[in-house]
Amino acid sequence: MINANPDIERLRFLVKVVQRETKHLQTTDQRLFELNFLQSLSIAKFIRRETAFMLSMLVLSAIFRYECQKILVSFLLAILL
């Protein structure tokens, strides 16, 4: 291209580089891993979310048991005393 803006030519070059790198990463990902990288990230995120949920449920159940024991002890003390 004659008298082309050097910034536009540089941008076109960089777009081609990014496209080639994207294609390379996708094919490498497909060759090396059963799941692609984005799927792996989403699964890991889901597992962390589920783990956090389960831990919060365990904490809540422990608190509930403790509170129930306190209430039961208070009730029994009131009856016995």
Q: What is the pTM of this model?
A: 0.39
Report pLDDT for 36: 64
Report pLDDT for 59: 82
Q: List CB contacts of 26: < 8 A, sequence separation 6 or more.
A: 36
Low-confidence ranges of the chain (pLDDT < 50): none
62 vs 55: CA distance, rounded Å: 11
Q: What is the pLDDT of residues 55-72, one digit of tens each?
A: 888 888 888 888 888 888
42 vs 31: CA distance, rounded Å: 19
User: Length of the chain, please?
Assistant: 81
Say what the alpha-carbon torsion angle 28, 30, 32, 35 is, to the nearest 10 degrees: 140
